[in-house]
Each structure stands twice: as structure tokens, then as C-alpha cells.
Amino acid sequence: MMKKATFFFLVIATLTTTFYSCKTNTDDLWDSIHQLDGRVTSLEELCKQMNGNISSLQKLVQALQDNNSITKITPIKEGEKVIGYTISFTKGEPITIYHGEKGDKGEQGDKGETGDKGDTGANGKDGSTPIIAVRQYTDGIYYWTLNGDWLRDNSGNMIKAEGKDGADGEQGEEGKAGITPQLKIEDGYWWVSYGEESGWIQLDKVVADNGETIFKEVTQDDDYVYFTLKNETVITIQKYRKLSITFKEGDDLKFDVDETKVVHYTIKSESNKSVIKVEMLNNDGCYSLHTDITNTTSGTITIKASVPTTNQVIVSVSNGEVTIMVAINVSLKPALEENTIRVSEAGTLAKILEGYDKNSITTLKVIGSINDNDIVALRILPKLSNLDLEDVYLTSLPRHAFSQNKTLTSIKLPKTLKEIGSYAFWRCKLTGNLIIPTGVTTIEMCAFAECNKLTGNLIIPEGVISVGELAFSNTYYVDGGSLTIPASIKIIGNSAFPSDLSPVYCKAVTPPDIDSGSFSNYSKLYVPLNCAEIYRNASGWNKFESIEEVEF
């Protein structure tokens, strides 16, 4: 009995030891799994932060290139430890960087047996974290480096770190400017890519215990922030210094035609050196600018509007370290006067006319910017007979603008007009003297064809290069009149001019190209001095019965 009891207790002891041993091995296994999981998570976080640092590094280089300034530096903490910073700029979005201290966290994930396992590879020394940085070359441009060597593309060219918005890959199409390298971890190795053309290139084995990052440290003084990289390159970015400009008359100005306004400005700056520059956002020729500087902090900007359009005066101010840009909005006064409509935005005339009895509008002056849609709104006014477009901004009168209009008898064309489209006034009832603006260069086919009630002389202004075929065909001047052709003319189309205009004055020294039927009346032609013989021998011009010289 005693032997059985002793045996029983021995069995119990053995089983207890066995079970305890199994439990201990299982716990060790789970500990290893947790350690491996922690190490993988740590590596993923490291890779993510490194790619973030690469993108931020390129934005720092871009800030340096754009003369951008830093407005704020916010520390990123893990507990009481500073592991990075958020950097804010005067222009663009903030960036986040992590400096070298973050690498200390990696040591926790590398404890245990897993670290020794890397030594079983082909060469334990291969394990390292790639160091991507930038360095300024002798040409003054920053280029990417990898582990201290220049990063090169497939053609052997160094890869620029400068360029617009390289972080989003848009500059990748150029292949050499603004490319942002990317890292990844796969199959236990680091991989790098510097654009679609490079693909992914294998680097060293992954280790997590060296704590390498791009940024070594970030320091600052009263004027600058210094970013020191692992390769000892220092990128220096200026701090923002308060700079502002205000306008006594405000930043939203409304103009009448040919109105001038003087804007008084005041500059506030920590520096006693300020430079001001003014320019139009869209140089449409409707505004002129002049700056009078009283001193480094004040002066005036004179804005003169000829035909006011919706635009902006861009005012740039620099104190040598910081540059700001402020806009003054300029446009046409929206007030409505008797028989006058002001259009501050092209394409809105129809909406403006909705509040009026269209049948009562017989005389109308339009001021401002208009487009083809506004011409349509004018064309369908049922009683409009006198139209003044002299002070509108319009460079091209569209095809069939007022063709076959039965009520329009008088029109003043825009001073800004360059082109009169085909059939623009075909079969209109225009009367009186037709005045074509001096800025016109092209009169297209049938533009004034079959307008039968004009009077005076037809003067094609200097600057017109081309008159299309039938441009004035079957157009009759009630009391006859003369025709004057400018020296600038190069091409005259077939049957371009009416038969009742004589004599013809052509100021061109070299006979323009014409068809045999460009004129309907070939009775008398006056040409510049010493040019008669040339015209007598020129095709088409030699049909004139009389060619005489005159001093223009």
C-alpha cells in the first residue's frame, strides 16, 4: 500500500512538472509572437515616418526656393519627449518632420531572440536603414542623395529635389525635376523608388535597432530655423516677420469710363526697407497704373480706367526677407443712368434688361464688358434704333451680330474693337456716316453688305490689314463720297467696295493684293508719291482709268 501511494505521488509530481513545462514554453512562444508583432508595427511606423520626412524635406527645399517663411513651430511629443515638429509657413500647408530621437523607440521592438535571427543571412552587416537626404551641388540646386551618394535616374542623371509640388507626383512626368523618392519594406528588405521609370530597387536588409532618420536636429534663433540632416546638410529657412499694407480708399473700387482714382497706402513692417510693385492681374489694356512713393511706409497708387473691366490690381510688398501680395478689386460702377446701362460682368446684359420695358428702349448706351451673349440681347430689342457701344470692352463683333436688323439706324462701335465679323451688319438700315474704330484690323466678308442709306465718305482706318470679299458690296452712299484705303492694308477681297464711291485714295506704297473685281468703280485712283507707275503695272489696279499721285 505504501509503495502504491509513493508511486501515485511520483506520477502526480511528474505530470505537474510536465504541465508546468508546457505552460512555460507556450508563454515563451506567445512572448516571441508579441515581440515579432511589435517589431513589425515599429518597422511599419518607421517606414511611414521616413516617407513623410522625405516629402517634408522636399517641401523645405521648395520653401527655400520660393523664399517662403516659417510662421510657427509646434513640437510633437511622446510623453515628455519631443520626437518631431509641425512647421507652418506663410504660404502653403504645414509639414510634419520627425528627428533622430524617434529612433530610440525602435530598440524596444528588437529585444529577444529575433534580433539574432538576422545574423543568419548571407552577411549580417548588410542590415541597415537607408538614409535619404539632399545636398546642394555646385550649380546651386539641391539634389537627392542615398546613403551619402547622389541618387541618379536610369540615365545616370542626378535627381533634383527642387520643383513644384513634387510630393504629389505631378512633376514625375518631367522625369528630372520635383521627384519625391519613396521607401517600402518587403520580404525583409528596404526598397526605394524615384518615379515610375525607376520601378522599385532593392536595398539593404531591414533592421529596426539603428534609429536612423532623415533629420538630425532642428534648431532656431530669432530670425531663422535650421534643419540639420543626417548628412550634415543644413537647410536654413527664414522666420516670418510681420508685414502688411492697407489702403485708405479700400480694396474694392468702382470706376466710370475715363475715371482716375488715387489710392493712399500705408506699409507696416519690422524692417525699414520696403519695396512696392503694382501690376494688373489681367493686362487687358483698360487700366494704367502709376506709383508715387512718399517714404518707405507710405505713398499713392494712381489707377486710371479707360473702359473699366472686372480686374485686380496686384500690389506686391517686400521688406527684403518677406514678400506679400494684396489685391485691389477694380470694376465698372453698377449705377444705371438715363438711356445708359452699365455691365460690370460680361454676359449679364440680358438679366439687367429683364427689369425694363424693352419696347420703350429706342436709344441706348452700354458701358462695361460685354460678350456675344450680350450682343444677342441687344439684337432682339424690338425698338432699338440708336446704339452706342463706344465705351464697352469688346474685341470681336461676332458673325451676324446685327444682320437684317430692321430698326437699328445708328451705331457707335467699341473703341476696343479689333475684328468685325462676317455679315455683322448685313442688310441693316444704318444711316449717316459710318465710323470704323482705329483699332480694327479685320473686316470680314459681307460685314456691311447691302447697307443702302449711309452718307459721307468711307474711311478704312489705319491698322486694317484685311477687307473680306463683298464686305461693302451693294452698299450705297446716298450722296456719293470717296473711299480711303490705309497704308496698312494687305488684302482686299472680291467685290469688297461699293460702286458709287469715287475717287479712291490708297495710301499703301506697295499695291495690296486684290481680285480683278475688288472695286465696282474704276474711274479714279490716288496713290502715294512715286507710286503711280507701280500701280499701273499691278494686277487689278491697272484697271483704273486714272491713276495719279498725291501727298498724303
- The grid coordinates listed for 220 are 532656431
Cell numbers placing 284: 487687358
- My answer on whether 218 and 267 are in the same domain is no
pLDDT score for 18: 47
Q: Helix and strand tally (H, E) in the chain? A: 5, 38
In angstroms, the CA 431 to CA 120 distance is 101
Give the pLDDT mean for 286-301. Answer: 94
pLDDT in tens, 31-47: 554 454 555 556 677 67
Span 514-534, mean pLDDT? 92
Based on the fold, state whether residues 467 and 494 are members of the same structural domain.
yes
- What CATH number should be reported for the domain holding residue 505? 3.80.10.10
- pTM of the predicted model over 0.75: no
Q: Are residues 196 and 318 in the same domain?
A: no
Cis amide prior to 503 (ω within 30 degrees): yes
pLDDT tens-digit readout, 305-332: 998 999 999 999 998 777 889 999 999 8
Question: What number of other Cβ atoms are within 10 A of residue 498's Cβ?
Answer: 26
50 and 145: one domain? Answer: yes
Give domain status of residue 300, yes or no.
yes
Q: Has residue 397 got a pLDDT over 80?
A: yes
Same domain, 279 and 400: no
Fill in the DSSP letter of residue 133. E
Same domain? 234 vs 98: yes
Residues 229 and 328 in one domain: no
Residues 81 and 207 in one domain: yes
Question: Of 238, 258, 273, at which residue does a domain stop?
Answer: 238
One domain for residues 219 and 260: no
What is the extent of the structural domain holding 400? Answer: 395-549
Same domain, yes or no: 168 and 65:
yes
- CB of 161 closer than 8 Å to CB of 144: yes
Q: How many structural domains does the chain have?
A: 3
Q: Is 121 contained in some domain?
A: no
In a domain, 416, yes or no: yes
DSSP character for 417? Answer: -
324 and 200 inside one domain: no
Lowest-pLDDT range, 329-343, 356-370, 398-412, 507-521? 329-343
- DSSP state at residue 337: B
- 518 phi/psi in degrees, rounded to 5: -60, -35
